[in-house]
Amino acid sequence: MIKRTGQPRDSSSSKYEEMRTNPANWKLGMVYVCHDDPRVVVRQRMPFGWTWNFANPWVIPAIPLTVMIAVGPALLVWLAGVRSILALAALLGVGLAIVIALASRLSKDPELR
């Protein structure tokens, strides 16, 4: 990765990457809790997916907000009387794409954003 100074940076040496890979920050092997990490969303230890940093107080409003972004538009259209499965599936797809894009952006090293 490239720092804003234009110099190459090895993201694996980032302090945030070290926190994410530290086994002490993973409770029961799958729940991430790190008070020193300011991110709300972090990459999972597996090569794909994200998880919440349950030590961050912003997780409490972020979870319902994520659900609203993902299913809210489709639910509003359903309540408005549209029963087209294709339209609802398209709205769900768009909502999920937005959630994935946000998770990808928020899970990045804050110094590289």
Cα separations in angstroms, 59 against 13, 64, 73, 92: 26, 9, 22, 22
Cα separations in angstroms, 69 against 12, 31, 48, 92, 95: 31, 23, 21, 9, 6
Whole-number percent of the chain with pLDDT over 70: 88
Does the pLDDT at position 22 exceed 60? Answer: yes
Task: For residue range 39-93, list pLDDT tens digits in order.
Answer: 999 999 888 899 999 999 999 999 999 999 999 999 999 999 999 999 999 999 9
**Strands 31-32, 50-52: pairing kind:** unpaired
Q: What average pLDDT score do residues 95-113 get?
A: 92
Whole-number percent of the chain with pLDDT over 90: 78
pTM comes to 0.80
Domain boundaries, the chain: 11-106
Give the range among 12-16, 79-83, 107-111 with minimum mean pLDDT: 12-16
Q: Which residue has the tokens 């990808």?
A: 104
